[in-house]
Amino acid sequence: MIPTITVAEITQALYGAWRLFLRDPVGIQFFDDDVPAFWKSFWCAVVILPGYIILRVFAPGEPAADADMVLGFAGETVTYVIGWVAWPLLIGHLIPLLEREDRYIQYIVAYNWATGPQILLYLVVMGIGLSGVLPDQVMLVLDVAALIYVLSYHFFIIKVALDLHGWTAGFLVLGEFLLGAVIHSLKPTGIAG
């Protein structure tokens, strides 16, 4: 069972994630490095859920629902949960090969809370797109720039939390990105996508 979390703990964790988002390595100091902190970091899934729903419902190019709403909702829910646990489980098996077992908890805590600033970035980009103030070509560049920034954000977290650099960090970022793409592609169609 995931331990309860306070508003102060959520605020501190999101602030640490924001500092990392701005490429400030001091942000890692805002995360506890113990088992309760590990489990509490999964509360971020609840914190960002409204933003995730907005992204899924209003994302341009997502087909509207014409299938069974219950099936669509179930598919979204399963995909969301799998998305939150798949990478921590996979990297947990790779950590011994990387000789970073002592840094696993801190990495997962930072990785989970990092989803907060990522969702915020994607909401801002989507909002700009839906406003229609920029041409489609510019929005495409903005979408790609946001994705590149998020990938580099993960690279930075790996560097700070796991003390890994170069190709190793790059392969981990690529692996996490591909895992997310596979999970998203397996979702049955339904409410939005």
- Tell me the per-residue pLDDT of 132-159, one tens digit each, with 9 for 90 and over: 899 989 999 999 999 999 999 999 999 9
Q: Could you tell me if residue 1 is inside a domain?
A: no
* pLDDT tens, residue by residue, 55-81: 888 876 555 444 566 666 777 888 899
Q: Could you tell me if residue 94 is inside a domain?
A: yes
Number of domains in the chain: 1
- pLDDT bin (cut points 50, 70, 90) of residue 193 is very low
Q: Could you tell me if residue 192 is inside a domain?
A: no
Q: Could you tell me if residue 112 is inside a domain?
A: yes
What is the pTM for the complete model shown?
0.89
- pLDDT bin (cut points 50, 70, 90) of residue 184 is confident
Residue 192: strand pairing partners: 64
* pLDDT tens, residue by residue, 41-62: 999 999 999 999 898 888 765 5
Measuring CA to CA, which residue among 184, 189, 185 is closest to residue 83?
184
Q: Could you tell me if residue 2 is inside a domain?
A: no
**CB proximity list for 6: less than 8 A, separation 6 or greater:** none
Q: Could you tell me if residue 164 is inside a domain?
A: yes
Q: Could you tell me if residue 190 is inside a domain?
A: no
pLDDT of residue 70: 65
Structural domain boundaries enclosing 120 = 7-185
